[in-house]
């Protein structure tokens, strides 16, 4: 990637030099004015030809000039919009490498449980929601995590509450509360009743209905068992027009949220064909700002072929990747391990897609020209996925480096498998912020040796030659790239402990992981990821220089502007008085 970019850039800068010389000979000819000029700042381009400039100019959505304030001055015409950076930092727009776009929007219309600190607090939020709800209306929430609770609920089974506590405040409204990881949910009696879940219901393959000692479901549904709950049951169906309108609103909420966090492109980790159609409609209506690269959670070859699209709507949407899930999450002990959990010796977690099925999907991906992205957290899941990828490359005589297949999360890897990422050209699609939020339970679950050897081993992976990307898995975490950048360069958990600091990234590595590496992982490095001549003018301006300020100040940086295709999509509402 690097070699190729450098080559392109060299050609471009030579061309620019020739033009500059010709220009000087003709007494600085007037140039066509830019649409937008940024000046007076520190612009980190990640482009080897001009790593740092003071100013840049954009026209028709692309970058047309980079240089000193003086060099860019001639691009300012009467109609040019000028952003005075006043010393602030501008960087290539953040590319979120793995998030769930629709889920980000949904969180805005559901109970947001991300900040809850106890089960009692959650129950009282549900009680509040019930008061405002119509009779029988579903109460839907998301974001709870038992590791954040100050005490264990009473009574409890495996540390989780029982549904009686919810039934008390919501006897008639069905309730479903999704775990922060998305890998479990908690429901009340009404929700189970409407969906026919009883003591006799068997756990589905790849999932578990948690039971109490009498054999009754507790309300906790792990992994695929969550799919037993359909929130359409028992409520009057929305008309198709109402359902479509709700989807549009959710997409707009998501768009607003991500651009306010400085994100110019987002890689969506798995949507349906029908959602892709809705997104296209929103793009056609001009109601979407962020650029989306969306993985499909569906695998029908014919529909994949029909849906494949690159750069739809002026580079707003690309669909050419399939997403499947290899295992669950570590916190809920759903991650599939080679050896048992250190704190649960009878369990090795579980695969959520049989390996044979992964092979079938891998062949579909090759046949339809899609990238394949498989979620793998545990070391067993990572090994199986690498095996599936390697077999598919071999069988189809493909060089893995041309395929750019991705392991989503790549969180816990056996030492023997780490070099395989680089060797096979497999992308480690990771999330910096998961490292610091999961840190408190990684060592209990895995033991110190496995944690040190293979947990979030960014440096080891990069040394293997692998491309490591970055993101947040929102709404599992907040979609804020600054928080994930901070986690990436410090590996410092909320309790102040640093989780194996030798694996942290430098500021420059972290910025690359959030920009050009994500672009590469989507075959988009020719149009995104650096501020280079001819690339899309996708730029994030921050209030503080996260490349140089002390570690502990990074999280105080705010997004001043999010610029997409040379247009200001978001600007910080009011400059706070006395802002530094
Ligand atoms: Zn995800």
Nearest to 322 by CA among 263, 254, 392: 392
Please name the helix (run of DSSP H) or strand (run of DSSP E) that holds residue 179, with its range, or none. strand 175-179
Distance 27 CA to ligand 1 centre (A): 56
- Separation of first and last alpha carbons in the chain: 38
- C-alpha 79/C-alpha 83 separation (Å) is 13
Residues 551, 552, 553, 556, CA torsion sign: positive
- C-alpha 136/C-alpha 278 separation (Å) is 28
Cβ contact 219:166 at 8 Å: yes
Distance 30 CA to ligand 1 centre (A): 50
pLDDT band for position 4 (cuts 50, 70, 90): very low
Beta strands in 50-167 (DSSP E): 52-53, 55-59, 62-67, 81-84, 89-92, 94-99, 111-112, 139-144, 156-157, 160-161
Res 579 pLDDT > 50:
no
- C-alpha 250/C-alpha 288 separation (Å) is 12
- pLDDT in the model for residue 98: 98
Half-sphere exposure of 395 (CA within 13 A, CB side): 14
Distance 477 CA to ligand 1 centre (A): 10
Residue 498 per-residue DSSP state:
B
Cβ atoms within 10 Å of 365's Cβ, excluding its own: 26
Distance 99 CA to ligand 1 centre (A): 6
- pLDDT in the model for residue 181: 84
Distance 105 CA to ligand 1 centre (A): 15
- C-alpha 24/C-alpha 385 separation (Å) is 57
- pLDDT in the model for residue 493: 94
Distance 308 CA to ligand 1 centre (A): 21
Cβ contact 71:64 at 8 Å: no
Nearest to 461 by CA among 409, 497, 508: 409
Query: Domains (ranges, CATH) in the chain?
Result: 31-93+535-580 (2.30.40.10), 263-272+286-297+311-534 (3.20.20.140)
Global pTM reads 0.86
pLDDT, tens digit, for every residue of 124-146? Answer: 999 999 998 888 889 999 999 99
Burial level of 7, CB count in 10 A (0-12/13-18/19+)? exposed
pLDDT, tens digit, for every residue of 179-236? Answer: 988 889 999 999 999 999 999 999 998 889 999 999 999 999 998 899 999 988 887 7
Distance 17 CA to ligand 1 centre (A): 45
Cβ contact 187:221 at 8 Å: yes
- pLDDT in the model for residue 147: 85
- C-alpha 407/C-alpha 253 separation (Å) is 28
- C-alpha 393/C-alpha 416 separation (Å) is 20
pLDDT, tens digit, for every residue of 443-468? Answer: 999 999 999 999 999 999 999 999 99
Distance 429 CA to ligand 1 centre (A): 10
Res 106 pLDDT > 50:
yes
Distance 241 CA to ligand 1 centre (A): 29
Distance 571 CA to ligand 1 centre (A): 28
- Residues comprising the chain, all counted: 580
pLDDT band for position 111 (cuts 50, 70, 90): very high
Distance 245 CA to ligand 1 centre (A): 25
Distance 106 CA to ligand 1 centre (A): 15
């Amino acid at each position: 990637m690097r070699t190729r970019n450098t080559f392109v850039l060299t050609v471009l800068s030579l061309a620019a030099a020739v033009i500059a010389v010709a220009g000087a000979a003709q007494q600085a000819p007037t140039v066509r004015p830019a649409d937008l000029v940024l000046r007076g700042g520190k612009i980190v381009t990640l482009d080897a030809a001009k790593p740092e400039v003071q100013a840049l100019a954009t026209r028709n959505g692309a970058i047309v000039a980079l240089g000193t304030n003086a060099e860019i001055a001639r691009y300012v015409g009467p109609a040019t919009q000028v952003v005075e950076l006043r010393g602030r930092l501008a960087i290539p727009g953040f590319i979120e490498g793995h998030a769930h776009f629709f889920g980000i929007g949904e969180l805005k219309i559901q109970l947001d449980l991300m900040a809850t600190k106890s089960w009692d607090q959650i129950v009282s939020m549900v009680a509040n929601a019930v008061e405002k709800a119509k009779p029988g209306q579903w109460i839907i929430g998301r974001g709870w995590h038992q590791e954040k609770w100050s005490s264990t609920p009473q009574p409890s089974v495996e540390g989780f509450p029982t549904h009686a506590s919810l039934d008390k405040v919501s006897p008639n409204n069905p309730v479903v509360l999704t775990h922060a990881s998305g890998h479990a949910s908690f429901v009340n009696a009404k929700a189970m009743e409407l969906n026919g879940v009883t003591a006799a219901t068997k756990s589905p393959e790849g999932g578990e209905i948690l039971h109490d000692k009498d054999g009754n479901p507790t309300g906790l549904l792990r992994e695929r068992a969550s799919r037993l709950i359909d929130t359409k049951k028992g409520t009057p169906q929305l008309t198709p027009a109402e359902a479509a309108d709700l989807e549009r609103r959710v997409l707009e909420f998501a768009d607003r949220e991500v651009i306010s966090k400085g994100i110019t492109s987002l890689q969506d980790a798995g949507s349906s064909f029908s959602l892709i159609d809705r997104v296209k409609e929103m793009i056609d209506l001009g109601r979407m700002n962020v650029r989306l690269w969306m993985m499909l959670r569906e695998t029908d070859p014919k529909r994949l072929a029909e849906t494949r699209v690159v750069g739809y709507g002026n580079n707003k949407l690309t669909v050419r990747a399939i997403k499947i899930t290899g295992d669950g999450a570590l916190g809920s002990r759903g991650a599939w391990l080679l050896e048992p959990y250190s704190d649960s010796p009878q369990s090795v977690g579980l695969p959520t897609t049989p390996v044979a099925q992964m092979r079938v999907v891998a062949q579909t991906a090759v046949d339809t020209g899609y990238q394949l992205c498989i979620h793998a957290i545990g070391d067993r899941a990572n090994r199986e996925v690498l095996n599936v990828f390697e077999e598919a490359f071999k069988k189809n005589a493909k060089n893995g480096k041309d395929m750019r297949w991705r392991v989503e999360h790549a969180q816990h890897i056996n030492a023997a498998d780490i070099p395989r990422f680089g060797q096979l050209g497999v992308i480690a699609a990771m999330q910096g912020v998961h490292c610091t939020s999961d840190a408190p339970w990684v060592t209990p679950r895995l033991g110190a040796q496995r944690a040190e050897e293979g947990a979030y081993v960014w440096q080891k992976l990069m040394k293997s030659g692998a491309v490591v990307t970055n993101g947040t898995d929102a709404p599992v975490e907040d979609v804020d790239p600054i928080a994930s950048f901070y986690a990436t360069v410090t590996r410092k958990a909320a309790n102040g402990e640093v989780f194996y600091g030798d694996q942290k990234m430098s500021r420059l590595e972290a910025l690359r992981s959030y920009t050009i590496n994500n672009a590469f992982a989507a075959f988009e490095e020719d149009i995104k990821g650096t501020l280079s001549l001819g690339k899309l003018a996708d730029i994030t301006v921050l209030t503080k220089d996260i490349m140089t300020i002390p570690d502990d100040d990074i999280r105080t940086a705010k997004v001043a502007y999010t610029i997409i295709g040379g247009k200001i999509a978001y600007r910080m509402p009011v400059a706070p008085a006395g802002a530094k």
